[in-house]
Amino acid sequence: MFITALAYAALSLAPASSADTDGCSKVKLNGSSVWYPVSMREQADGSLKGVFPDLATQVFTALGVPLMVGPELPWKRLLTLLEHGQIDVLAGAYLTDERLAKYGVSQPVMQEDVGVIIRSNLTVRPQSLKDLAGLRGVAPFGASFGEEFENYAAANLSIDRQPFEDFKTNVLLVAEEKADYLIIARQEGERMIKEARVEGKVEVLPWVASVNTLHFLFSRATPCIKMLEAFDEELLRRRETGRLDELIEDYTLPVGDG
């Protein structure tokens, strides 16, 4: 369920990028505004927070390159801008073969469970993905949950992906019995249940739909692709010293009521 063998092989065989930063005087970064704890937009000032934006700030500061964060944009728009070089780096994405072909891919930063949220009054509780066949599913518009899951879902499941302005609408559809289940990153789904106040009407199943690694994506259309090797070296250094784990824990440890 992680990256496909083909993807791993391509990563390991890719030629080393130059650590030269010529032409990359600043890095234009953007990411999801609603993906807890990966990348979230602060309502007060619109700034981007989360594991990936914070890590990007730390790494590019260590590399001596300033970071400029872009405004809130739809996910598919961000990928298009990245492909055409209008942003340099995307802060957090699952890896697929298509993305591996289009973008530069960092070393994995963290891994994430993709969860299944069901309405609590379902007659039969699904025990696996195959039990979702025949049920009405929803998922965030533009989201990909990994190559293996997407291939299985396309062949076997019925999942509606509408471009709602607020992703929380998806969990409300399940709570209101307009859908049977929601596919979403597990931690984000748990947060949305609390925010929507639908505990008791929906629940997260104990098994996962998939497990994916998360990466930074670099545009191949800008000079900042030259920084990928140096970026990975700094990223691995932070993993080895435990600083990366500390950052992830800062966002994922329980903080109590409120």
Structure confidence at residue 9 (pLDDT): 38
Residues 151 and 231 grouped into a single domain:
no
Residue 233 lies in a domain: yes
Residues 45 and 169 grouped into a single domain:
no
Residues 120 and 197 grouped into a single domain:
yes
Structure confidence at residue 160 (pLDDT): 96
Residues 86 and 179 grouped into a single domain:
no
Residues 10 and 95 grouped into a single domain:
yes
* Single pTM value for the model: 0.81
Structure confidence at residue 6 (pLDDT): 37
State the Cα–Cα distance between residues 146 and 113, nearest whole angstrom.
11
Domain that holds residue 233: 5-110+212-252
Which CATH number fits the domain that encloses residue 184?
Answer: 3.40.190.10
- Would you write out the chain's pLDDT as a tens digit for each of its 258 residues? 334 333 433 443 343 333 456 689 999 999 999 898 999 998 778 899 999 999 999 999 999 999 999 999 999 999 999 999 999 999 999 988 899 999 999 999 999 999 999 999 999 999 999 999 999 999 998 888 988 999 999 999 999 999 887 878 999 999 999 999 999 999 999 999 999 999 999 999 999 999 999 999 999 999 999 999 999 999 999 999 999 999 999 987 554 433
How many domains are contained in the chain? 2
Q: Going by C-beta distance under 8 Å and a sequence separation of 6 or more, which residues neighbour residue 204?
A: 115, 116, 117, 186, 189, 190, 193
Residues 189 and 123 grouped into a single domain:
yes
Structure confidence at residue 164 (pLDDT): 85
Residues 104 and 13 grouped into a single domain:
yes
Compute how many other C-beta atoms are within 10 angstroms of the C-beta atom of residue 242: 10
Structure confidence at residue 3 (pLDDT): 40
Residue 15 lies in a domain: yes
**Amino acid at the residue 163:** P
State the Cα–Cα distance between residues 212 and 146, nearest whole angstrom.
6
Residues 50 and 102 grouped into a single domain:
yes
Opening angle at CA 24, ends 23 and 27, nearest 5: 160
Residue 258 lies in a domain: no
Q: Going by C-beta distance under 8 Å and a sequence separation of 6 or more, which residues neighbour residue 107?
A: 215, 232, 235, 236
Residues 100 and 194 grouped into a single domain:
no
Residues 104 and 197 grouped into a single domain:
no
Residues 12 and 105 grouped into a single domain:
yes
Residues 95 and 135 grouped into a single domain:
no
Rg (CA), the chain: 19
